[in-house]
Structure 1
Amino acid sequence: MKIEQIYTGCLAQGAYYITSNGEAAIIDPLRETKPYLERLEKDNVKLKYIFETHFHADFVSGHIDLSKATGAPIIYGPKAQPEFDAIIAEDRQIFELGNVKIEVLHTPGHTMESSCYLLHDESDKKVALFSGDTLFLGDVGRPDLAQKAAHMTQEELAGMLYESLYTKILPLPDDVTVYPAHGAGSACGKNMMKETVDSLGNQKQVNYALKQPDKESFIKAVTDGLLPPPQYFGMNVAMNKKGYDSFEEVLNNGMKALSVEEFETVAESTGALILDTRKSGEFARGFIPQSINIGLKGDFAPWVGAMIVDVKQPILLVTDEGTEEEAVTRLSRVGFDNVLGHLAGGFAAWAQSDQEVDTINRITPEQFASEVKIGEDKVIDVRKEGEYAAEHVDEAYSKPLAYINDWVKDINNDEHFYLHCAGGYRSMIAASILQSRGYRNFSEVDGGFGAIAKTEVPKTDFVCQSKVL
């Protein structure tokens, strides 16, 4: 028997590959199936099962394409109602894989169909729990995502999650290894550890949700401080439940290389969003007007999902040459399948064709320190609330990037302001969005707060809740 965690950092997502005596199972596969197919062939094993812990909200699974390619059935726990062929397992149902067994544990609460998969080894010892979004390391799955579909409140779902954890998971042996579906950085929880594997016994000691004295305390603890989920979550659930276009078709469309003239024609005729995936510094020095910058070398896919409202939005890509396939792949993982092509030759081809070019007013932290007048000038910090609370520029406004569509309307276009994040990645996303909407009265600070903190600019950890733009 062999267990392998296949972890994708930008999504903070763990898929699992299990083999025993010539047979394999994959749990919660990513959208692109080629790596799994190559691995199966290399190991000379047959894929027997594709297990899904639930209908994922934060990414599109590769379950349908993988099933079509291999003939392996897709398995869900009780209550799942997919719109494609699948095995809907019963609670405690056993699936044999080579010399081992996988037991279904129905654990509703995060969603109604959420299930964990308990692996029994060759001697029938319980050795591993693939916990999906029911149990994370340091946290549990948020109970607010399935409210509408379940016709329940988040408190009612949290109560159901309590029963699942305290009656089915906590009684398991302490030496069972926990393999969660997500780690730190995922929006599916609020307090996840950076580690991606742990023992259940240690989680019983360190996980706040598993140490609550009663159900009422648990409900309060897991619902307190939940941030609104990204807008694309519901659309990803629908794709995972109803089906989607094959990844190969999506990739072929996105890999169409368009000349400058073709690119311009497609943009004008379709209303496509121009997504520039280069590094923030390169983007600032020159870009196609109205482009949005979300750098590929960062949390690319989650920020695309958070910033672009509709997964069906037509998209044209401007990339560093050679990264086109990576960009299309990572977009598809969060359901953005309508990529119409990319600019052949990248931004250099556009600049060399005498087309209009725009820039962002990016300044150094030293320039910011010499210019800014604390208490007089407006400084907008687009980091998360927790980052801002830890330390920030004195008198700065906390306006997280995730909520830019809410606070952008409060900006006075006649008043100059400074814009920064932690290192420059998020503030350039914000800058590109602001500029595409006609706001040009700002200076974005290169290096963000990390660089500002090394200057003499006054800083504080005092948080004024009443500050408004």
Structure 2
Amino acid sequence: MIIEQIYTGCLEQGAYYIQSGNEAAIIDPLREVEPYINKATSAGVQIKYVFETHFHADFVSGHLDLAQKTGAQIIYGPKAETGFHAYVAHDHEEFKVGEAIIRVLHTPGHTIESTCYLLIDEAGKETALFSGDTLFIGDVGRPDLAQKSDSLTKQDLAGYLYESLRAKIMTLSDDILVYPAHGAGSACGKNMSKETSDTLGNQKRSNYALRSDMTKAEFIAEVTQGLQPPPAYFPLNVKMNKDGYESFEKVLYRGMRPLTPDNFEIVANAIGALMLDTRDAQSFAKEFIPNAINIGIDGSFAPWVGALIPDIDMPILLIAEDGREEEVLTRLARVGYDNAVGFLQGGVAAWKASGKETDSIRSVTPEELNDISKQQPIEILDVRKESEFTAEHLLDAENFPLDHINDHLAKLDRKKTYYVHCAGGYRSMIFNSMLRARGFEDLVDVKGGFKALKGSGGFEISNYVCPSTLL
């Protein structure tokens, strides 16, 4: 028997390939399904089932395309209602994959249809638990992502989760391996470990949510405390996963349309397309197309697209490094942004060569910023998360989290100069590009972010800030 975790770092997402005999099953596949098909083909096995742990909110699953291409049956747990053909299993129902068995464990809590899958090997031993968003390493799934039609509060779902964990999971053997759908960095939980698997026994000892002496009321209070609002694209991804979506090949075909600078400009003006520049932050700062937004592909690209571009159906024009256009389109499609309509052939160099205007954003090093601060008062914006800022920040900086850029925009003065930093330079350029497109002219990016500022030794660091003073 083969168990392979296929982990995608930009989404902190784990899909799973299980093979026994001449059959295979895939759990929670990503949108692009060729890697799973190629793996099965190379092994000479047939993909028999596609198991979904729940209707994912943070990415669009590849269940439909995978089933269409392989003939595999899509399996959901109890309470799932889909807009396409799928088999909704009963609690404790078993499915045979080669000589192995996958048992359905309905574990409502993260969502009402959330289900774990228990793998029983060829010798009849319970071996692994594919826990979806029910149980993470170090955490459990947040209970506030239910669809509005479910009429369930986060307290209701937290109560279900408490019962699910204690009745269905904590009763299992300590040596079972836990394979969750996400790791640290995902917005589907609060306190996930960077580890992407563990034994159940270790989780029983170390995971706060599995404490044997915890009451239901205590559990509900703890798992509902401190939840940040989910990204706006989450319910849109749930809808796509539940109702269906356009095939990935069609999305890719439409987006891989090369456009000359003239045609790029015509399309942008004609349909009001968002110009998305996916180059690295400093390349963008030096020269970019006016009004383009920078979200670098070499970072948490898809989650930031989902968090900051509210209209999932907005037409998008791409500006990417040569040869990386398909990669960008793939990562957009993973979170449901399927309406890319083309890319700038030849990139910014071609745009310049055609005589068209470019813009730039000034960047300074921490040393340069220190020299400026000695000559005049300066205003520093720290666009890291509130928790990062609270832990440690420059003494005179003001917190303006990128996550909530639209909530506090009115507090900024277009006539002032702002020096902007994040942790390392990725988020600050996103912030600067978005404000620049809205008419803010005097934004200066700090190269290297807080890490570089702290390392320069030229700035006083504060390790605490009263929460009431935060934006």
Normalization by structure 2: what TM-score? 0.98
Provide the residue aligned with 2:268 in structure 1. Answer: 267
Alignment of 1:40-55 (within 5 A): 40-55=40-55
Separation of aligned partners in 1, 2:324 and 2:4:
27
Aligned to 1:128: 128
Post-superposition Cα deviations, 1:337-374, rounded to whole Å, max 9, x if no partner, equal 00001000111101111101010121111111122269
Match of 2:72 in 1: 72
Alpha carbons of structure 1 residues 374 and 397: separation in structure 2 relative to 1, 3 Å: farther
Partners of 1:413 and 1:241 lie apart in 2 by: 43
2:107 aligns with 107
CA distance, structure 2, for counterparts of residue 394 and residue 410 of structure 1: 20
Q: Distance in 2 between matches of 1:423 and 1:273?
A: 25
Q: CA deviation at 1:147?
A: 5.5
Unaligned runs of 5+ in 2: none
- Which residue matches 1:378? 379
> Are 1:337 and 2:338 matched, yes or no?
yes
The secondary structure found in structure 1 opposite 2:467 is coil
Aligned partner of 1:363: which letter? V
Are the structure 2 counterparts of residues 375 and 226 from structure 1 closer, same or farther at C-alpha, using a change threshold of 3 Å? farther
SS in 2 for 1:418: strand
Alpha-carbon distance in structure 1 between the residues aligned to 2:399 and 2:412: 13
Other-structure match for 1:189? 189
The residue type equivalent to 2:126 in the other structure is K
Name the residue aligned to 2:388. 387
Residue among 436, 461, 464 paired with 1:462? 464
Write the mapping of 1:161-172 to structure 2, written as runs, cut at 5 A: 161-172=161-172
Residue-pair matches, total: 469
What SS class does the counterpart of residue 433 from structure 1 fall into? helix
Name the amino acid aligned to 1:446.
K
Larger deviation, residues 416-425 vs 287-296:
416-425
| 2:347 is the alignment partner of 1:346 | yes
Please say if residues 131 and 181 of structure 1, whose CA atoms lie closer than 8 Å, have aligned partners that are also in contact: yes
In the alignment, is the contact (CA less than 8 A) between 2:386 and 2:470 conserved in 1? no
Query: 2:329 maps to which residue?
Result: 328
Matched, 1:97 2:100: no
Q: Matches of 2:148 and 2:237 in 1, distance apart?
A: 15
More deviation, 360-369/269-278: 360-369
Cα pair distance change 1:151/1:357, threshold 3 Å? same
The one-letter amino acid of 1:408's match is L
Q: Are 2:165 and 1:138 equivalent residues in the alignment?
A: no
Q: Tell me how far apart the structure 2 counterparts of residues 468 and 113 of structure 1 sit (CA, whole Å).
A: 38
Quote the residue 1:360 is aligned against.
Answer: 361
| Deviation (angstroms), 1:376 | 4.7
* Aligned-residue RMSD, C-alpha: 1.3
Moved more, 410-419 or 341-350: 410-419
1:437-456 mapped onto 2 (5 Å cutoff): 437-455=438-456, 456=458
SS at match of 2:129: strand
Indicate if the aligned counterparts of 1:155 and 1:219 stay in contact, CA closer than 8 A: yes
Shift, 1:408, TM fit? 1.4
CA distance in 1 between partners of 2:136 and 2:25 (Å) = 21
Does the 8 Å CA contact 2:297/2:328 hold for their aligned counterparts?
Answer: yes
Give the SS at the match of 1:218. Answer: helix
Residue 21 of structure 1: aligned partner: 21
Residue aligned with 1:118, SS? strand
> How far, CA to CA, are the matches of 2:300 and 2:338 in structure 1?
18
Q: Is the 8 A contact 2:25 2:51 kept in 1?
A: yes
Change in 2 beyond 3 A, CA 1:361/1:125: same
How far 1:443 moved relative to its partner?
1.4
Equivalent pairs: percent with the same residue? 58
- Give yes or no for contact 1:374–1:394 (8 Å, CA) kept in 2: no
Verify the 8 A CA contact 1:369 1:452 in the aligned structure 2: no
1:318 partnered with 2:319? yes
